[in-house]
Amino acid sequence: MKIKSLELESTVLDYSKFPRSGMPEVAVSGRSNVGKSSLLNTLFTRKNIARVSKEPGKTRTVNFFVVNGKFYLVDLPGYGYARVSKVQRESWQRVIAGYLRHRETLSGVVQLVDARHDPTRDDLMLFQRLIDAEKDFLIVLTKADKLKRSQRASQVAALRSYFAGISIGPAGGKDENGEPFEVPFVFSSAVTGEGKDVIWKWIAERI
């Protein structure tokens, strides 16, 4: 996708203040420090559109970027930051659950997982919520530049085991019945730019 214009339309905390323009949106979600800001900068080919932070867990707002005047790319707050209290964690879970369930204009979620680690408990809870809400999602395995080929394969195997009974495979590929995978994934790197085109293609297909 060619980015002709990009505008941060609003920064909101509260679901009731989410934009009501009716434009379709794709959200980007992941735990703190997963590389979300770096990925957004890569997607937008700009340095520091989304702040790359050494202090995870600070951003609690939801940022609505209008892309090409046509759709929103929604930057959700990072979750799972260790120093966040149980109450804050649960409040975040509630906001996200409500958002996934009730936001009609939400047509897909780009869900980031650190490729070097197993999904966290919060990641798994989010997968479940996405499946329950019947939202399309793309799993983006971040920081892939830090992985060897063999590590990639075992990461994919681990992911498969979490989605028993659900077809999962590389974004753009087909399952044994010739259908697109129910849960597509892609490796990405903010260092090499890997994954960028696949992610944009997936987004473009949802809006």
Ligand X SMILES: Nc1nc2c(ncn2[C@@H]2O[C@H](COP(=O)(O)OP(=O)(O)O)[C@@H](O)[C@H]2O)c(=O)[nH]1
CA distance 26 to 103: 11
Say which entry of Mg ion, ligand X, none residue 32 contacts (CB below 5 to 8 A, set by partner kind). Answer: ligand X
Residue 34 DSSP one-character state = S
Compute the least distance from the CB of residue 176 to ligand X, in Å.
Answer: 31
Return the closest-CA partner of residue 104 out of 183, 206, 22: 22
Residue 149 amino acid letter:
R
Which residues have CB under 8 Å from 128's CB, separation 6+?
A: none
Compute the least distance from the CB of residue 18 to ligand X, in Å.
Answer: 21
β-pair partners for 63: 11, 75
Lay out the site mask for ligand X across 146-185 (x = CB under 6 A, - = otherwise). Answer: x---------------------------------------
Our CB check for Mg ion shows the closer of 181 and 188 to be: 188
CA distances to 10, 13, 17, 153, 202 from 138, rounded to whole Å, are 24, 24, 26, 18, 8
CA distance 141 to 125: 17
Our CB check for ligand X shows the closer of 42 and 135 to be: 42
Lay out the site mask for ligand X across 101-130 (x = CB under 6 A, - = otherwise). Answer: ------------------------------
- Contact by Cβ (8 Å): 83, 55: no
Dihedral of alpha carbons 64, 65, 71, 77, sign: negative
Positions 31 through 60 that interact with Mg ion (CB under 5 A): 37
- Total residues at interface with ligand X (CB under 6 A): 19
By CB under 6 A, name the one of 6, 10, 24, 53 that touches ligand X.
Answer: 53
Say which entry of Mg ion, ligand X, none residue 77 contacts (CB below 5 to 8 A, set by partner kind). Answer: none
Return the closest-CA partner of residue 3 out of 58, 57, 33, 40: 40
Binding of ligand X at residue 29 (CB under 6 A)? no
Residue 14 DSSP one-character state = S
By CB under 6 A, name the one of 29, 32, 111, 155 that touches ligand X.
Answer: 32
Say which entry of Mg ion, ligand X, none residue 35 contacts (CB below 5 to 8 A, set by partner kind). Answer: ligand X
Return the closest-CA partner of residue 196 out of 136, 135, 120, 145: 145
Compute the least distance from the CB of residue 182 to Mg ion, in Å.
Answer: 28
Residues that bind Mg ion (CB under 5 A): 37
- Which residues form the interface with ligand X (CB under 6 A)? 30, 32-38, 52-53, 56, 78, 142-143, 145-146, 189-191
